[in-house]
């Protein structure tokens, strides 16, 4: 059997290479809803926050819920980010606030355990415009 080697005549240009990289990055990027995020207000000394991080934290980024509302963590002892300045009444940690287009949709105060968390989060996600949990 005779093997033939073919050499492709391909010219790589910088704009072509850049375009290919951008297309690949867009294809690999997780799907996000427009402007939705789940903000977790937490504290380093909070044992319920630690429980959430142990039980939910590792899997949340891989879920359909995270594609709709990516997690954003905010330490309550740090200065509040400007875009979250209008959120009042954060008393318990953790408190999860579902935001869409900069507005609060709803919240979960405390961590009720893994089973209840997913159910409560599901009810909150039903309220936002994006209904495409796949």
Contact 100, 87 (CB under 8 A): no
Q: Considering the domain boundaries, does residue 85 fall inside one?
A: yes
The predicted pLDDT at position 132 comes to 43
Cα–Cα distance measured from residue 132 to residue 68, given in angstroms and rounded to the nearest whole number: 8
Cα–Cα distance measured from residue 110 to residue 97, given in angstroms and rounded to the nearest whole number: 11
Q: Considering the domain boundaries, does residue 80 fall inside one?
A: yes
The reported pTM is: 0.70
Q: Considering the domain boundaries, does residue 31 fall inside one?
A: no
Return the CATH number at 89: 3.40.30.10
Q: Considering the domain boundaries, does residue 13 fall inside one?
A: no
* Sequence-separated contacts (24+) of 107-116 with Cβ below 8 Å: 110/48, 111/48, 111/49, 111/51, 111/52, 113/55, 114/55, 114/56
Number of domains into which the chain is organized: 1
Say how many C-beta atoms besides its own lie within 10 A of residue 105's C-beta: 18
Q: Considering the domain boundaries, does residue 18 fall inside one?
A: no
Element housing 14 (H / E): helix 14-28
Contact 129, 72 (CB under 8 A): no
The predicted pLDDT at position 23 comes to 40
Q: Considering the domain boundaries, does residue 134 fall inside one?
A: no
Q: Considering the domain boundaries, does residue 77 fall inside one?
A: yes
The predicted pLDDT at position 11 comes to 52
| Domain interval for residue 118 | 36-125
- pLDDT digit of tens for each residue in the chain (134 aa)? 554 544 444 454 544 444 444 344 443 444 433 489 999 999 999 999 999 999 999 999 999 999 999 999 999 999 999 999 999 999 899 999 999 999 999 999 999 999 999 999 999 999 986 444 44
94 to 32, 44, 50: CA distances (angstroms): 23, 10, 9
Q: Considering the domain boundaries, does residue 9 fall inside one?
A: no
């Amino acid at each position: 059997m005779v093997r033939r080697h073919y050499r492709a005549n391909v010219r790589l240009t910088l704009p072509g290479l850049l375009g290919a990289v951008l297309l690949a990055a867009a294809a690999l990027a997780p799907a996000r809803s427009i402007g939705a995020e789940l903000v977790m207000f937490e504290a380093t000394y909070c044992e319920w926050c630690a429980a959430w991080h142990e039980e939910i934290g590792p899997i949340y980024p891989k879920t359909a819920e995270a594609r709709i509302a990516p997690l954003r963590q905010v330490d309550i002892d740090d200065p509040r980010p400007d875009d979250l300045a209008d959120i009042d009444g954060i008393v318990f940690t953790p408190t999860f606030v579902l935001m869409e287009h900069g507005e609060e949709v709803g919240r979960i105060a405390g961590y009720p355990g893994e089973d209840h968390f997913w159910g409560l989060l599901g009810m909150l996600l039903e309220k936002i415009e994006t209904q495409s949990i796949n």
